[in-house]
Amino acid sequence: MSVKLIQNFIAGKLCHPANADKLSVTNPATGEITGEVALSSAAEVDQAVQAAKTAIVKWATTPPLRRARVMFRFLELLQQNHNRLAEAITKEHGKTFEDAKGEVQRGIEVVEFACGVPHLLKGTFSEQVANAVDAYSFRQPLGVVAGITPFNFPVMVPMWMYPMAIACGNSFVLKPSEKDPSASLLMAELLQQAELPDGVFNVVQGGREAVEALLDHPDIAAISFVGSTPIARIIYQRGTAHDKRVQALGGAKNHMIIMPDADLDQAASALMGAGYGSAGERCMAISVAVPVGEETANALLDRLIPQVKTLKIGNGMEPGLDMGPLVTRTHLDKVSAYVDSGVEQGARLLVDGRGYVVPGHENGFFIGGCLFDKVTPEMEIYKNEIFGPVLSTVRVPTYAAAMKLVHNNPYGNGIAIFTRDGDTARDFVSKIEVGMVGVNVPIPVPVAFHSFGGWKKSLFGDHDIYGPESINFYTRLKAVTSRWPTGIKEGAKFNFPTL
């Protein structure tokens, strides 16, 4: 198999970083090296930023309607290339092709929202706030902005950022994950076909040096990041120290509370999809089941065990699968080590997916679904975000105990409750200290015209991502108070102006 070189995209052209180190890109289903990604230096990052800085001069003053037309053309191209993007995801990330198509679709929905930017950027006007004085406000773009994105959604998460940033009049520099970078260049190609001016969207491949160069660069006004909490905290601290606007979305430990009155068949099905879909490599995956009461727990596990044991696992390009491999051998070893620690610390491993082998794909990075019972908050498998197909069951006696468990957790990204009782659901939605809440919905990712963001250690910064919050993040407000000559003659006034 030929090995492709995955390059940068700067000022409308593919370019290879000079004297760059390279990392191998693998197909997780086979373990084969399919590409090499060049790691950009600070010099290459500066090249991209300068291209974006040059492009912003005209793009920022391009009428929003014309910017929207670019988004409409991009939208059409995305729809035409839906399967092509999904295939690129599956072959480098490993998720099933159907799951990858769903990822692309959720990204497309943000582009659909961006097509409405002329309406979204409308300002406000107040006539005659004082004698012959009018007041109005409007939003203007920040300038050059950047996005640093993770491996688990190589199309969707970048689309959470750049469509709205660009539609708002900014230019953009994307630093995608080095684990699955090919999709970033496909998106750049489609934006170019949509007649986006060169330099408005740029891609720099790379690792730590590229990230640090983006954080420190004086010409970048804002940084968007999605990744683990330790890195999100560093991104936020370093970016804001350089006077940048930063939104840094971190990790999660998402719970699903199952009340005794819940439809347990529905709850079990929801847990299967939310816990094991995309092999658990989702920041909104449910990794902790919290059944209320022993009877609820036993009945739930009776439903889960046979389903976990019969998960259909294989090469993500094959039809009819539930799960593909994990993204890299290193990540497979990390997830397996977490399962080891759960056993060592006394959790009961009901289904053991370690050592899973797919015939014909013996070198792939596979693990089967793992299901734990009798997990306690002190265990590593509860405290840490595993990012794999590992579901932990924490039994609690009451609804109040379930709430306490969640509130004591340092993360606050997503949560779900399954119940038939409206009073319980309403109380839960009102009081739970989590940013995204589902009621009989296992993965409550907001639609594109709302905004996505967790609480506590799951988000650093003041703005959620995409949706209406993206307008606030990618623009700044300007307020104007004006008076035109009207024949009014007034002398100097030395007191603070009031109405």
Taking only the tens of pLDDT, the chain with its 499 residues reads 578 899 999 999 999 888 778 999 999 999 999 999 999 999 999 999 999 999 999 999 999 999 999 999 999 999 999 999 999 999 999 999 999 999 999 999 999 999 999 999 999 999 999 888 999 999 999 999 999 999 999 999 999 999 999 999 999 999 999 999 999 999 999 999 999 999 999 999 999 999 999 999 999 999 999 999 999 999 999 999 999 999 999 999 999 999 999 999 999 999 999 999 999 999 999 999 999 999 999 999 999 999 999 999 999 999 999 999 999 999 999 999 999 999 999 999 999 999 999 999 999 999 999 999 999 999 999 999 999 999 999 999 999 999 999 999 999 999 999 999 999 999 999 999 999 999 999 999 999 999 999 999 999 999 999 999 999 999 999 999 999 877 667 777 777 777 6
Beta pairing class for 245-249 and 220-226: parallel
How many other C-beta atoms are found inside a 10 Å radius of the C-beta of residue 311?
18
What are phi and psi for residue 82, nearest 5 degrees?
A: -55, -55
Same domain, 316 and 236: no
Domain-embedded: residue 402? yes
Which residues, 6+ apart, have CB-to-CB distance to 92 below 8 Å? 25, 26, 27, 28, 34, 35, 154, 179, 180, 181, 182, 183
Same domain, 102 and 122: yes
Domain-embedded: residue 229? yes
- Cα separation, 116 vs 126, in Å, equals 24
Alpha carbon dihedral 76, 81, 82, 83, in 10-degree steps, equals 160
CA angle 426, 265, 298 (to 5 degrees): 90
| Contact status, residue 290 vs residue 394, Cβ threshold 8 Å | yes
Domain at 379, CATH number: 3.40.309.10
> Sheet harboring 414-418: ordered strands across?
348-351, 370-373, 390-393, 286-291, 254-258, 414-418, 436-439
H helix or E strand, kind and range, residue 208: helix 208-216
- Cα separation, 117 vs 295, in Å, equals 52
Same domain, 368 and 429: yes
Residues facing 480 on adjacent strands: 136
Domain-embedded: residue 471? yes
| Contact status, residue 376 vs residue 290, Cβ threshold 8 Å | no
- Cα separation, 474 vs 233, in Å, equals 20
- Please, what's the b/e burial string for 333-342 (b: 16 or more CB within 10 A of its CB; e: otherwise)? eebbebbeeb
H helix or E strand, kind and range, residue 381: helix 380-383
Which pLDDT value is given to residue 498?
Answer: 74
Number of domains in the chain: 2
Domain at 89, CATH number: 3.40.605.10
Domain-embedded: residue 315? yes
Catalytic site includes residue 283? yes
| Rounded (10°) angle between helices 208-216 and 229-241 | 30
Which pLDDT value is given to residue 488?
Answer: 67
Which pLDDT value is given to residue 1?
Answer: 56
Same domain, 91 and 141: yes
pTM of the model: 0.95
Domain-embedded: residue 209? yes
Nearest to 274 by CA among 134, 390, 435: 390
Domain-embedded: residue 447? no
The single residue of 15, 115, 168, 283 carrying the catalytic annotation is 283
Same domain, 373 and 235: no
Same domain, 220 and 307: no
Domain-embedded: residue 494? no
Q: Which domain holds residue 295?
A: 254-439
Q: What is the CA radius of gyration of the chain?
A: 25
- Which whole-number Å values give the CA distances from 114 to 74, 278, 291, 445, in the listed order? 11, 27, 40, 18
Can you spell out the DSSP letters for 125-170? Answer: EEEEEETTEEEEEEEEE-SEEEEE--SS-TTHHHHHHHHHHHHTT-
